[in-house]
Chains A and B, each alone.
Chain A
Amino acid sequence: MTEAQREAEGGGAPELVRLRLAGRREVAGVVVGVLAAVMDESSGRAVATVHLAEQGRAGRRVEVVDGDRLRLGGETWQVVAVVPWTGERPAGVVLGRVA
């Protein structure tokens, strides 16, 4: 499906943002940085720590696993995937905007 087709159908397409470990970018007006993306040996799940910075507000660090939701600039974003650091492949977090 092309972007034009999707727009013609009136949306309903969650946007995905791929954030690399140690990188930062704005998502819905909030600067999101990935502080850590590791495999939690006790739970067997990939866990990430993200830093959220909004203008005029103190930043915060949030620990997330896949499926968690974040409120960013009035929008709801879901953690689609946490790709943990292995030393061999790219690591980071994938966020998906929930319509």
Chain B
Amino acid sequence: MNGFYGADVEALIDWGLRAQSSGRRLDELARTLDAAISGARWEGGDGEAFREVWNGTHGPSLRAAGSQLDGASQAVGLHAAEQEIASDVDGRIDATALAGLIGGRFSWSDVINGGQAVWDWFQDPLTIDDLGGRYIDSAEGQDFDPADVDLSAEAIAEQTVRQGSLGDCWFLAGLMAVAGTDPDFLAENIVLRPDGTWDVTLYEDGDPVTVNVSADQLAATGARVDDDGAGNFWADDPIGYMSIYEQAAINHLGPDYESVIADTPGRGLELITGAPAPDDTFLWGNPSLEDFGTALDEGRPITVMSDPLHPWRDDISTAHVYQVQGVDESTGELILVNPWGNTGEGEGDMPHVVRVSIQDYNANFVMAGVGGTPDEFGGDR
């Protein structure tokens, strides 16, 4: 083995273009011969026999060979596109090199139709480049000072979480729920060290685990403080406790970003608080409004996950975890908070706060995670 695995893209493209050209040449020859044979004056049994053999065997074989070569050229073009994506750190395709090969000219849909079946676009783990690079390399992160991050309980209680590129709503909604019941607990579990890094305490099976996070690990499109209301201005959203906690979860669960993408509501609460938070055992899948109210009154953080396929309400995302903020007894509604933060106030925007009746909850949500009471936070500490 010489360490090379895959394909020489330029050789594939060269072969594909030759195959395409040859296939079209064969098709042209078949048409020319068709015309010549049908136009030739050849009467009698031998002539009829020859035309029968040409029309029934040789002509179709020639056209089939041309078609197969053309098809093979397209298949090679698709393989070249896939190889290009696989070989490039940014997953990019050199479109100009493929021009003229696939479908007569480069077409995204050709790559889609031919390549999707054999290429899992999310097969490779996300990298920090997929997340916009490092925060400290971004324009707003140039002068970032870890000491400027307000990690007080007051700030944690007041700040709005804005989820970023990662599908870690299960974790961020858990943070929001704990911040709503016991912000002091979160504040105590993030410590800024003299070297400018943070130590974050998470929990595995109730046991505390200290996870170190440095500023250069934070991704540009990670979770931030949504500090501009409905303005939805991302660029200047500051780093907050959720940014540091998110990176701590990545570092702890590792080895890459995939480890924090998608999990259950209860898992997030257990990881943050150390207290058992089994999914749905408390609510048995059919909770009443009173069940939610009682749990919230006890100080339990609660998060809920929406139907992954078909929520009936279009203001609810699929497979998304929301914080249960409260119960409005006057209207009989649950008050849920979206970890996306504010997305705007138009009809097409996703509301930051969603109100659902218990009937709508049962129709649109599939799972609830109910945390321990604050006196149980910290697991076996």
Contact = CB atoms under 8 A, between A and B. Distances in A.
Interface of A: 1, 3, 6, 9, 12-26, 31, 33, 35-38, 51, 53, 55, 57-61, 66-67, 78, 80-81, 83, 85, 87, 89-92, 94, 96, 98-99
Given A83-B122, A90-B261, A58 B344 contact: yes
Nearest to B84: A1
Nearest to B316: A35
22 contacts: A1-B9, A1-B97, A3-B89, A9-B96, A12-B95, A14-B95, A16-B90, A20-B122, A20-B261, A22-B163, A22-B169, A23-B164, A23-B166, A23-B261, A26-B234, A36-B319, A59-B232, A59-B348, A66-B109, A81-B116, A91-B122, A99-B95
A89 B132 contact: no
Interface stretch (B17-25, B187-195, B277-285, B307-315): B307-315
Contact of A6 (B94, B109, B116, B320): B94
Contacts of B121: 18, 80-81, 83, 92, 94
A13 B96 CA distance: 7
B221 interface: yes
B167 interface: yes
Most buried by A among B84, B109, B345: B109
A58 B348 contact: yes
B112 A25 contact: no
Contact of A89 (B112, B120, B319): B120
B111 interface: yes
B5 interface: no
A60 B169 contact: no
B121 to A, nearest CB: 5
Nearest to A5: B94
Nearest to B127: A18
* Interchain residue pairs A-B with the least CB separation, the first 8: A58-B346, A90-B122, A59-B349, A12-B96, A60-B348, A36-B318, A25-B165, A20-B167
Contacts of A53: 232, 343-344, 349
B109 to A, nearest CB: 4
Interface of B: 9, 84-85, 87-97, 108-109, 111-113, 116, 120-122, 126, 130-132, 163-167, 169, 221, 231-234, 258, 261-262, 308-310, 314, 317-320, 340, 343-350
Contacts, number: 163
A5 to B, nearest CB: 9
A61 B94 contact: no
A95 to B, nearest CB: 10
A75 to B, nearest CB: 14
B142 to A, nearest CB: 18
Contacts of B349: 51, 53, 58-59
Nearest to B99: A12
Contacts of B262: 21-22, 90
A31 to B, nearest CB: 6
B167 A36 contact: no
A80 B81 CA distance: 12
